[in-house]
Amino acid sequence: MVETGLVDPHTHTVFLSWRDLTYLAEAGYEAVVTLAYTPYVPTHPASLEDHFTHLEAEVARLKALGLRAVIGMGLHPRCVKPEHASAQLEVVRKWLPKAQVLGEVGIENPDSNLEAEVLRAQLIMAKEADLTAVIHTPRNRKKGALKVIVKAIKESGIKPENVIVDHLTPEPALLNEVVEVGAWAGITIQPGKASVHDLEYLIEAAPDALNHVIVNSDAGRDPSNPLAVAEAYDALVRKGYVTEAYRLTSINPKEAIKPLST
Ligand SMILES: [Zn+2]
């Protein structure tokens, strides 16, 4: 039984319909973290400001259904326009006081010095604002990306417990690498990323890491399931993993996401 509601710590609700949000409310969600991401490279840094304004408006849209929105702002690596990177970072700096989370930020290409620098600069902003940071890892080359991310965490000085390293595959070695740094490990239940079956494997193979793992949907524009967290909870409970289900979908994300832990 979910005593306090479910949390989805990584979504992009600007791409979800009213009906999608209704399903979330009916399924017992309490809070949804909705992160910045545009599926294109903004032609001008000011375009980011419009996106952030759109995100702010999500608070009222979700509240109307009894859902708490936690808003993330930041510059996703796929949205970096090299000639505008400094100006884009200035937009993030200006808007971050209106956000509760830094994100989605991260690494798409582990060989890109610019992406590494953009990530480091934003983690410094999160540290200064005392915000949780949600960090994207790419579908391929996760190990390489992880190396760049761990370096950026260390160089920025952000507290690792304020960092979620997301979209990890449920390989115990990969998870342990993140857990050893002291950060949260995010598993995304989405076609091509991870499945509920992977969570079951993880519960058995890496029970020690479980206290540092959170589960999310990355629901948005691309193939995804807005109810992935609720369905994962139900599936795990049916298999007898009651405590683990509750921890992964409610307790842990509330500890990991600052505004939800206080
Ligand atoms: Zn995302």
Span 32-64, pLDDT tens digits:
999 999 999 999 999 999 999 999 999 999 999
pLDDT at 95 over 50: yes
- 262 falls in which pLDDT band (50, 70, 90)? low
Mean pLDDT of the chain: 95
Residue 35 CA to ligand 1 centre (angstroms): 7
Residue 35: closest CA among 164, 160, 228, 185:
164
Per the CB < 8 A criterion, the answer to whether 58 and 71 are in contact is yes
pLDDT at 245 over 50: yes
Per the CB < 8 A criterion, the answer to whether 13 and 69 are in contact is yes
pLDDT value, residue 244: 96
- Tell me the average pLDDT across 160-168: 97
22 contacts: CB under 8 Å, gap ≥ 6: 65
- 154 falls in which pLDDT band (50, 70, 90)? very high
Between 235 and 207, the more confident residue is: 235
Residue 134 CA to ligand 1 centre (angstroms): 9
- Amino acid, single-letter form, for residue 41: V
pLDDT value, residue 2: 43
DSSP letters spanning 37-82: --SS--SSHHHHHHHHHHHHHHHHHHHTTTPEEEEEE---GGG--G
What is the separation of C-alpha 211 from the centre of its chain, rounded to a whole number of angstroms?
A: 17
Q: Which of 8-12, 174-178, 216-220 shows the lowest per-residue confidence on average (mean pLDDT)?
A: 174-178
Task: Annotate 207-232 with b (16+ C-beta within 10 A) or e (fewer).
Answer: eebbebbbbbbbbbeeebbbbbbbeb
- Tell me the average pLDDT across 16-34: 96
pLDDT value, residue 4: 64
Residue 67 CA to ligand 1 centre (angstroms): 19
- Tell me the average pLDDT across 86-112: 98
Per the CB < 8 A criterion, the answer to whether 175 and 20 are in contact is no
pLDDT (tens digit per residue) in 179-226: 999 999 999 999 888 999 999 999 999 888 899 999 999 999 999 999
Between CA 28 and CA 39, with CA 33 as vertex, the angle to 5 degrees is 125
Residue 120: closest CA among 79, 143, 89:
89
- Tell me the average pLDDT across 100-112: 97
Other CB atoms within 10 Å distance of the CB of residue 130 = 10
Residue 147 CA to ligand 1 centre (angstroms): 20
Residue 58 CA to ligand 1 centre (angstroms): 16
* Cα separation, 177 vs 104, whole angstroms: 21
* Cα separation, 229 vs 187, whole angstroms: 10
pLDDT value, residue 172: 86
Residue 12 CA to ligand 1 centre (angstroms): 6
Indicate the helix (H) or strand (E) that contains 164: strand 163-165
* Cα separation, 114 vs 209, whole angstroms: 32
Residue tagged 């798409």 (tokens):
108
Residue 222 CA to ligand 1 centre (angstroms): 9
pTM for the full predicted model: 0.96
> What domains does the chain contain, in order, with CATH numbers?
6-261 (3.20.20.140)
- 3 falls in which pLDDT band (50, 70, 90)? low
The percent of residues in the chain predicted with pLDDT above 70, rounded, is 98
Residue 51 CA to ligand 1 centre (angstroms): 15
